[in-house]
Structure 1
Amino acid sequence: MDAFAALPPALPLAVALSGGADSTALLLACVERWPGQVQAWHVHHGLQAAADDFERFCAGLCARLEVPLQVRRVDARHAPGESPEDAARQHRYAAFDALADASRAAQPIRTVLLAQHADDQVETMLLALSRGAGLRGLAAMPAQWQRDGMAYRRPLLQVPGPAIRAWLRARDERWIDDPTNVDARYTRNRIRADLLPALEAAFPQFRATFTRSAQHAAQAQQLLTELAEQDLQSVGTPPRIEALQALSMARQANLLRHWLASMHGQTPSSAQLTELLTQIAACRTRGHRIRLKVGLGHAERHGDRLLWRPGNGGTGTS
């Protein structure tokens, strides 16, 4: 399983190890390729009774492979109205940040490898489609990125999930299955159980073609981001309303999404963004007031500028 040629990681590296088939295979492949240069990081999410079993499995595997194992325990319960998957992801990356900080005192880790594979990428794209996502959502999971100075890589994104399990079985390796992966309450699990087999039957190459589409979407999104950065430089930060109005509606929307995400960590709904664009177009007099709920705060006019403030917002008036 040579999935590292396109994205060779900087060493030493850490493998995010859950104990499932995918991360188990990734750890085994890395240890074989870079002996003495690999750690395993396990995040105990505290969400189910089986979490202790995951940790014990990871400890046994790492002891057998003579790989250092770092464990971080978190309380990954989600807040009301928050996606359980998003909450777990946020806690997981916060745990990675803490493990990276701890590693700097001894053997600084330069790369963290994650085990998501081609099936995971397809599931992510289908979830994005079901939510009416734009290019950023259709780009699904990036193969590489930086976070707080740490390089993250997903070397298995073009490797089918069944191939990973076949590779493990051929080596007589065990793994541990997460019981929540068959819980039909979760949309991702229904996609895995019902849609992926149908796609396999109708389009046997769907993993490769979906992955290619995600790459195209990621490239297009990169261009939109670069355009938004250029427009933001000319429009100013915070944006000048008159300069915004000089742009096409599509470029205004692109700029506002980028400004809200990059400067304030906010993602407006389609309805919020549409109403904001309508108010900006109508803002032709000094007395025109803009105050709209956007994300977890509100956008408002202040002089000739558009501001975003945290907290509850009102509705637009003119």
Structure 2
Amino acid sequence: MSSVLAALRRMLAQPGASGDGYCVAFSGGLDSMVLLHALHSLRGEPGDFALRAVYIHHGLHLEADAWSARCEAVAARLNVPYVARSVCVERDTGEGLEAAARRARYAAFAELLAADEQLLTAHHAEDQLETYLLRLLRGTGVHGLASIVERAPFADGWLLRPLLSVGRADLTAYAQAHGLDWIDDPSNIDTTLDRNYLRHKVVPVLRARWPGLAATIGRAARLSAEAAELIDGLAAGDCARSIRGGLIELGELRQLAPARQRNVIRYVLRQRGLVPPSEIQLLTGLDQLLSAGVDRQPVLSWPGGQVRRYRQRLYVLEVDPSAATEKAPSEFVWDGLAPIDLGPVRGRLQLVSAETGGFGLDPANGPLTIRFRRGGERLRAAGHLHHIRLKKLYQARGVVPWMRAHVPLLVQGDTLLAVGDLWSGASAPADGRPAVRMVWDQHALIY
């Protein structure tokens, strides 16, 4: 029996697999060509399933349009529904072109998957071998050495890699036996790329000495995945004791051994979909977060995110708020009638009727303006006789310092009417006009 068909039958025999829909990531290369053809050949067996092919056009190759047309023709011959989706690959993210293309590709797959559909990719044993070696050479930990997993949660379903135990030679034999014509991407022979260098220059030498290399590396990857699962279990227990309200309590974190402290940070970052910092960044950054004086506000910052300290708690941020708003307007003129989008971090703002409290608007006082803190602002809040500096209001409420410059200030003329949805001014409504209040969708980010 073909190892390809055997691997797919194992997948289809898993509990709950019968009746699932499968979406094949179809590039037209050897691997995905075999996967689509072999899956299609099994549809007549007991436990039928829906099947379709999706081609992602990255816009990186001149021949990509022709490749898509060839993929569409193959799908048509097999009577398999076909979808082509173009994506925009960001080239200036610092993560490298291959990683940026992968991120764009999987984001597109997540959008395209139906509720009852699983994503299938054609990763095979040599892909696992190359990934393991690349990550080993980069000094990754056990989570990275787990390399490519056979089954992982994805979107609202699962990402499955049923050919992970199948070698490239078996895929080639299947394709030749069935007369399949696949696409050869010329970039796959460019040995200036690390993966290709390993594939063409290093792995053949290793395999000549150790013929069972792919199987051995596959076993090492599975053992690494087990170790990663155990480490995550330890981190989950430590997080249960040291995290309250989504924030890491420094007092609890300090009671852990240094390795477990770092494990908690890495675990929290992974849970939030962030790539952890390098080992040296985490070592030095966490030391500063833990040891800085109580009046300090240290920050661990790297391209993938930030960890900030405020009042003996650690906050995990996806982006640097100041960098995200660096090129944003500093002022908006607003009619107050429709919601207004203020951009990243600053969020969305709208005025609604206030049944109690709120503030008044008088058209005679001029247009509404949305500004952001520059320093020295004062507000006479409802119920107060005197103006109070925003700095004192923020400190009393515990608003985190890095968000204070991004809370929208509603101004009419020279009067500060409202500070986000935190405080309203003491202005009374004009005759016959209802009081209003601000609704701001970024409120949760300020504590």
TM over 0.5, shorter chain: yes
Matched, 1:64 2:77: yes
Matched, 1:242 2:265: no
* Contact 1:40 1:67 (C-alpha < 8 Å) held by counterparts: yes
Residue among 222, 229, 247 paired with 1:222: 229
Residue among 98, 102, 112 paired with 1:89: 102
Match of 1:24 in 2: 33
Matched, 1:47 2:55: no
Matched, 1:165 2:172: yes
Q: How many angstroms apart in 2 are the aligned matches of 1:83 and 1:179?
A: 19
Can you list the C-alpha shifts for 1:106-142, whole angstroms capped at 9, x where unaligned? xx55211100100001111111012111111111011
Residue 64 of structure 1: CA displacement?
Answer: 1.2
Can you list the C-alpha shifts for 1:146-199, whole angstroms capped at 9, x where unaligned? 122121100011111121011111222211101111112211011110112112
The alignment yields a C-alpha RMSD, in angstroms, of 2.0
SS in 1 for 2:136: helix
* TM-score, length basis structure 1: 0.90
Superposition map of 1:113-128 within 5 A? 113-128=120-135
Q: How many angstroms apart in 2 are the aligned matches of 1:266 and 1:119?
A: 25
User: Greater shift after overlay, 258-267 or 171-180?
Assistant: 258-267
* Contact 1:143 1:154 (C-alpha < 8 Å) held by counterparts: yes
1:42 is matched by which residue type in structure 2?
A: Y
SS in 2 for 1:78: coil
Can you list the C-alpha shifts for 1:85-123, whole angstroms capped at 9, x where unaligned? 1111111112112221xxx4xxx5521110010000111
Greater relative CO (CA pairs within 8 A, separation 6+) = 1
* Contact 2:286 2:300 (C-alpha < 8 Å) held by counterparts: no
* Contact 2:8 2:39 (C-alpha < 8 Å) held by counterparts: no
* Contact 2:57 2:86 (C-alpha < 8 Å) held by counterparts: yes
Aligned length: 306
* Contact 1:47 1:77 (C-alpha < 8 Å) held by counterparts: no
SS in 1 for 2:92: coil
Residue 264 of structure 1: CA displacement?
Answer: 6.2
Q: How many angstroms apart in 2 are the aligned matches of 1:269 and 1:135?
A: 14
- Structure 1 residue ranges without an equivalent (≥5): 314-318
Q: How many angstroms apart in 2 are the aligned matches of 1:80 and 1:229?
A: 31
Which of the pair is proportionally richer in strand?
A: 2
* Contact 1:46 1:75 (C-alpha < 8 Å) held by counterparts: yes
Q: How many angstroms apart in 1 are the aligned matches of 2:65 and 2:167?
A: 28
1:165 is matched by which residue type in structure 2?
A: T
Residue among 276, 279, 298 paired with 1:290: 298
- Structure 2 residue ranges without an equivalent (≥5): 323-447
Matched, 1:186 2:193: yes
Which of the pair is proportionally richer in helix?
A: 1
2:112 is matched by which residue type in structure 1?
A: L
Residue 280 of structure 1: CA displacement?
Answer: 4.5
* TM-score, length basis structure 2: 0.65
* Contact 1:43 1:72 (C-alpha < 8 Å) held by counterparts: yes
Q: How many angstroms apart in 2 are the aligned matches of 1:279 and 1:77?
A: 33
Match of 1:316 in 2: none
SS in 2 for 1:184: coil
Match of 2:21 in 1: 12
